[in-house]
Structure 1
Amino acid sequence: MENNNVEIAGLQEVNYDNYRLSKTKYNSLTNFVGDHFQYSYFGNTINFAGGQYGIATISTLPYRSESVKHLYSNDSDKNNDKFIAACENYRFEDKSTIKDMEDLRSEYGMSLVEPRIVTRILINKDGQEIAFYNTHISYASTKLRVMQFKQLVEILEQDDAEYKVIVGDFNADRNTTDWKIFADKFNLANGQEGVWRDTYIVDDDPTMRVNSIDNIITSKNITISNVQTVYSTESDHIPLIADLTLN
């Protein structure tokens, strides 16, 4: 991303000071924040493995405010309470906690839903303020995903900032038509001029019908150009990058 002069980016599935991957606490952000991306903001989605797990924004630009909103979920499902407890108790070195998670997944499958959030920071670029959002949408069901899409549209429409950008893993793996919820009022990088770029690169899920599941969405007063992906094997997703011009 540094080689491509990326100024700001949204990260998903961030392990934040937890024991998910090692016997000592691990923070994914240490791999990103440094001389180039000097600023970061983490949003906790769920307490996980003695720490936190969620999404983060990394930026070369400072920001002056931050906030989190929770998205629609099925938190009322009693089985979800067991799942959330198992997430918090999970430990890399404790096989019993891993088995507890696997057993829940096996028994309840897609009915178990991780909480989902959207984060917002306010950045300044060339004297213009931009509301920059980051999210990771649910993969559990198309119905829930569409509800979350509609909620995001409402959040963006209610934002008083002149310029608005939202990035993330939207998990729209069934079709490309669900993006129409955004298309009338916003600009989309993925799907621009009918070109859909695969950003999920691991061909291990036969239920997925499309792999163009990440996107950069902007208010209409922002022009999107030079949309591209950068191939990497560091993750099961590859970065989607675009130039944004404030009009």
Structure 2
Amino acid sequence: MNRRRNLVIGTVAAVCSIAMVYGVYVLQVRQISLQQTVQVVVPKDFIRAGAVITEEMLELKPVFTAALSPSMVTDKKQLVGKETVIPLGRGEPVLAWKLNRLHLLPRPNQATFQVPKEYVLSISNGIRAGDQVKVYASSTDGGGPRKLFEEEITVASVKTSANVEIDNPKSSNLQSKAEGDEVKMYLSRLEANGPIDHINLNLTEEQWMTIDRLCSTKKTKLVIAFTASSLAGEQ
């Protein structure tokens, strides 16, 4: 009986020892993995907002794997040619959301058109550069009001009569948008630096010709409306 008991105790002790050794091994492997580093992209020097990134502006810097964020960029080529939405600090890992692919520029099938003031009946005061807007036609020839385009249109810029881009000087709308701060975006639209006098839209040739054909008769004018998708941070 004692012999059998000793055998059971020995077996249990051996299993416990193996489990302990394995546990220590797992902890050591985990510790080593946490101490491993990965190269992430950082600016060589301070980069201002609105700058177009070139490869010469960037370098790689090691960070611990445990500190790696999904938004950190590990390949410099992913950033070349993009525009900084907010300033980038020297040596700080670049986060993907801080850059855009020149989103205020027209797409390959588009051009930026300044809409003549005589074509416009009204513009929502809250519109800012980079917003998505809906364009409606208001006619006096019996056609009545109607949506001119089904898709939303990107605003390239909105300016005052002094040719100054409309924004809140204390809190940039584009910066708040990049940070995903809807409250700041909302507040920035309440403290603009002037009324909208000129608006530039990124349009296809067909869209512009539709606008010009309708509005040049002076019987149709545009109503340009702000959409909630702009506050949702969509780029």
Scaled by the length of structure 1, the TM-score of the pair is: 0.23
- Which of the two has higher C-alpha Rg? 2
Scaled by the length of structure 2, the TM-score of the pair is: 0.24
Q: Kindly indicate which of the two structures has a greater share of residues assigned to strand.
A: 1
Q: Kindly indicate which of the two structures has a greater share of residues assigned to helix.
A: 2
